[in-house]
Amino acid sequence: MAVSSAAMAMFQRLTTIEEIGNECLTRFHYSTHRLAVRVCRRRQELLQSKEFYYHRKRTGYTQKAACLIQSLKCDSDPDGSKPVGPPRYGITAFEPVSGTWGRVDPVPKYPDGLPLFCQITSCEGKILVMGGWDPTNYEAVRDVFTYEFTTQR
């Protein structure tokens, strides 16, 4: 099997194992970063750095995702006709290239659902969740939570 001239040129530029490893990491799907950071502290620092995110973005290896707020399944009364308790919501990510849907991990302070009426925005590969009402006592929430796709936290 012959190696193309483009592949040879790439391998001549990548002279060290470290550089080859970094190029491979650049191509990893963001969902694998959570496991890849466990290899060593240096890999963790690299995968979680802004520079690495910008490098992936510049080279075209970041994935676009649409994030939606969706209702979570609620408990029902015994006859199943009405939900019991306040409504619960979570963030779902849709990746159009692969056609996959996935639930984003809940906000640690609110594991049973997002604060009601919270505001959501995204920037630089992160989701920000701001304010809202506490779903248990309906008091105003002044917290801001950040979810990073690179760490999936």
Question: How far apart are the C-alpha atoms of 59 and 53, rounded to whole Å?
Answer: 10
Report how far residue 121's alpha carbon sits from residue 69's, in angstroms, rounded to the nearest whole number. 11
Nearby residues of 121 by Cβ (< 8 Å), 6 or more positions away:
127, 128, 130
- Cα 92 to Cα 101: distance, rounded to the nearest angstrom: 7
pLDDT at position 15, please? 62
Task: Note the pLDDT of residue 152.
Answer: 67
Is the whole-model pTM more than 0.75?
A: no
% helix, strand, coil for the chain, step of 5: 30, 25, 45
Q: How far apart are CA 69 and CA 66, in angstroms?
A: 10
Position 144 scores a pLDDT of 94
Please give the pLDDT value at position 115: 93
Q: What per-residue confidence (pLDDT) applies to 117?
A: 93
pLDDT of residue 85: 74
Q: 19-31, pLDDT tens digit by residue?
A: 778 888 888 887 7
- pLDDT at residue number 9: 66
Q: How far apart are CA 36 and CA 55, in angstroms?
A: 17
Q: Write out residues in the chain with pLDDT < 70, as ranges.
A: 1-4, 6-15, 77, 80, 150-152
